[in-house]
Amino acid sequence: MTYLVTGVAGFIGMATAKALLARGERVVGIDNLNDYYEVALKRERLAELTPFGTAFEFIEADIADTTAVNALFAAHGIRRVIHLAAQAGVRYSLENPHAYVQSNVVGHLNILEAVRHSDTVEHSVYASSSSVYGANEEQPFSEADRVDQPVSLYAATKRADELMSRSYAHLYNLSLVGLRFFTVYGPSGRPDMAPWLFTSAILKGEPIKVFNHGEMRRDFTYIDDIVAGVIAAADMNPLPGEGAERHRVYNIGNNKPERLMDFIAAIEGAAGRKAEKIMLPMQPGDVHETYANIDRISADLGFAPTTSLAEGIPQFVDWFKRRHRLT
């Protein structure tokens, strides 16, 4: 079966593509290799897919480019779409808002339109985010909660993706699943996220910035657990029913929020060094706590994360040390 993975040079995209290829599937991947963070890391990730030979085909293009997206769908007989390409990151959306609308709104529309006109696509999965819950206080976050109070433009674009997808299911009877990811971490992770920033600073003996004086909790989810959930969602039977019934969103998180200070302690333990902490106030656009209710995805897809922070953090820190030749 042929899968399209958008954002294939990204953290979750590469890991998902690799697992599919290891299982013997064909993967067509698209990524524009933008320089939001180091392009060398994106190329290293792509290099992990080259051993699969012709089963993997990479297309360097922008999903906001309608012609390129349509040509890709026309040429490859894609059956399942895993759409992960996006401008990610909450904080950068304060600096460069246009990048978010271009990739996350225009790009998302291009994927929906291509799926709508495709004769081969049966079912699609796309990335949403826990950030759609905004500053909701009731925990854990559940799919039934209201999600109309985003606190960042990033969150607003991810919620827009969900609403656009719902309208396309309603109008064109498409089978679509949105996954609300909760802080994903692990080897080959993102340089703009806390696990990387803290590990890098601690190993180099530099201070780390601890926002909201450490009073934050995150439902950190390990990459292997995420990949299992993404692939289970992509492999679902096309959703039954009519119209908007064929669009569903699922939380995909660890269901175990960790205190920021415990998370830092886990990195210190794995790195064998203590962090010098600069305590700072809350950042605009940030939220105090994320905690996923995963009843829905567990019931429908058998999603059951197994990796604790105590297991996952050393995996990430060891990978980081190897990549940066640090001891």
Ligand X SMILES: NC(=O)c1ccc[n+]([C@@H]2O[C@H](COP(=O)([O-])OP(=O)(O)OC[C@H]3O[C@@H](n4cnc5c(N)ncnc54)[C@H](O)[C@@H]3O)[C@@H](O)[C@H]2O)c1
Query: Restricting to residues 150-189, which ones interact with ligand X according to CB under 6 A?
Result: 181, 183-184
Alpha helices in the chain (DSSP H): 11-22, 39-47, 66-76, 92-95, 97-100, 107-117, 153-172, 194-204, 223-234, 260-271, 295-301, 309-324
Q: Pick the stretch among 2-10, 139-147, 198-206, 292-300 that binds ligand X (CB under 6 A).
A: 2-10
- 103 is an interface residue for ligand X by CB under 6 A: yes
Least gap, CB of 307 to ligand X (angstroms): 14
Shortest Å, Cβ 181 to ligand X = 4
Q: What is the DSSP string of 264-300?
A: HHHHHHHHTSPPPEEE--PPTT--SB--B--HHHHHH
Classify 251 as helix, strand or coil.
strand
Measured from the CB atom, the residue of 163 and 278 that comes closer to ligand X is 163
Nearer to ligand X, 106 or 243 (CB): 106
Nearest to 113 by CA among 36, 46, 171, 62: 171
What are φ and ψ of residue 3, in 5° steps? -110, 140
> Any idea what DSSP says for residue 141?
B
Site for ligand X in 259-318 (CB under 6 A): none
Catalytic position from the list 154, 168, 222, 291:
154
Task: Fill in the per-residue mask, 216 to 235: x = in contact with ligand X (CB under 6 A), - = not in contact.
Answer: --------------------
Taking Cα atoms as reference points, which of 178, 42, 188 lies closest to residue 111?
A: 178
**How far apart are CB 191 and ligand X at their closest, in Å?**
9
Q: How far is CA 201 from CA 51, 184, 220, 272, in A?
A: 33, 19, 20, 13
Task: Assess whether 185 carries a catalytic annotation.
Answer: no
29 sits near ligand X (criterion: CB under 6 A): no
CA distance 88 to 2: 26
Shortest distance in whole angstroms from residue 10 CB to ligand X:
2
Min separation Cβ 160 and ligand X, Å: 12
CB of 114 within 8 A of CB of 68? no
Kindly tell me which residue out of 9, 28, 169, 292 binds ligand X, with binding defined by CB under 6 A.
9
Distance of CA 268 to the CA centre of its chain: 25
Question: Which of 17, 21, 27, 32 touches ligand X by CB under 6 A?
Answer: 32
- 208, 156 Cβ separation under 8 angstroms: no
Our finding on whether 87 is near ligand X (CB under 6 A) is yes
Which of 9-17, 164-172, 262-270, 274-282 is the region at the interface with ligand X (rule: CB under 6 A)? 9-17
Does 93 interact with ligand X (rule: CB under 6 A)?
A: no
For ligand X, which residue of 11, 92, 168, 198 counts as binding (CB under 6 A)?
A: 11
Q: Hey, is 49 helix, strand or coil?
A: coil
Residues 6+ apart with CB under 8 A from 18: 48, 49
For ligand X, the nearest residue by Cβ is 10
Q: Give the x/- contact pattern for ligand X in 61-80, rule: CB under 6 A.
A: -xxx----------------
Q: Which residues contact 98 (CB under 8 A, 6 or more apart)?
A: none
Q: Nearest distance from residue 242's CB to ligand X, in Å?
A: 28
Work out the number of other CB atoms within 10 angstroms of the CB of residue 50. 9
| Size of interface with ligand X, in residues (CB under 6 A) | 28
What residues are labeled active site? Answer: 154
Which residues contact ligand X (rule: CB under 6 A)? 7, 9-13, 30-34, 42, 62-64, 84-88, 103, 107, 127, 129, 181, 183-184, 190
